[in-house]
Amino acid sequence: MGRAAETAGRVLTMFALAGLTLVACTEAPSPPTAAVIVPPPPVPVPAPPLPSHKPAPAIVATLPPPPQPVPPPDRFESLHGLDQGQTVALLGEPVQRTDAPPAILWRYQSRHCELDVYFYLDLETREMRVLHYEVRDQDAGAEPAQRQCYRELVTDRRGDPAGRTDRPR
């Protein structure tokens, strides 16, 4: 073989290699590249304009007036729904306060009876309110005796502004 044949063989070899290289490149897909998202530059916010004059001082809210004492009814049913401040206004300070979860128990005493007042959390107002009471008296819960007990507690409260009802029985 002559030189021409050698050159032709080399050219064919180069074309064959180039073809294989092209086939190899097209058969193996390149891995996907992640798209880089560039956020837009921040938009400058202009400063608020300065007021032309000094603003007037803020109006201060006034406090509501203190709770008025609840007028004394003649039945224990009127205790239902009272909050702790209203109960103190009506009956004075209790002789005893006890936590009895989920309630708070206040105990009042008069000469002839005891009153237990149970406060529970009112979910709407988030205040403790009277939802239950128990009366213990010498006449085992008779209606006239309960009214008398209630009047004693309210009268004792009025006779002693501090609300102490710890007089001897």
CB 96 within 8 A of CB 166: no
List pLDDT tens digits, range 69-78.
655 556 778 8
Q: Which residue has the higher pLDDT, 146 or 118?
A: 118
Q: Give the mean pLDDT of 76-94.
A: 89
**CA gap 86, 81 in Å, rounded:** 10
pLDDT tier, 167 (very low <50, low <70, confident <90, very high otherwise): very low
List pLDDT tens digits, range 7-37.
766 766 776 666 666 555 555 566 666 677 8
pTM for the full model? Answer: 0.50
Query: Is the pLDDT reported for residue 163 higher than 50?
Result: no
Q: Which residue has the higher pLDDT, 118 or 150?
A: 118
Percentage above 90 pLDDT, the chain:
21
pLDDT at residue number 166: 47
Query: Is the pLDDT reported for residue 139 higher than 80?
Result: no
Burial string for 31-51 (b: 16+ CB within 10 Å, else e) reads eeeeeeeeeeeeeeeeeeeee
- Give the DSSP letter of residue 1: -
pLDDT tier, 85 (very low <50, low <70, confident <90, very high otherwise): very high
pLDDT at residue number 165: 44
Query: Is the pLDDT reported for residue 56 higher than 90?
Result: no
Task: For domain 76-159, give the CATH number.
Answer: 3.30.1450
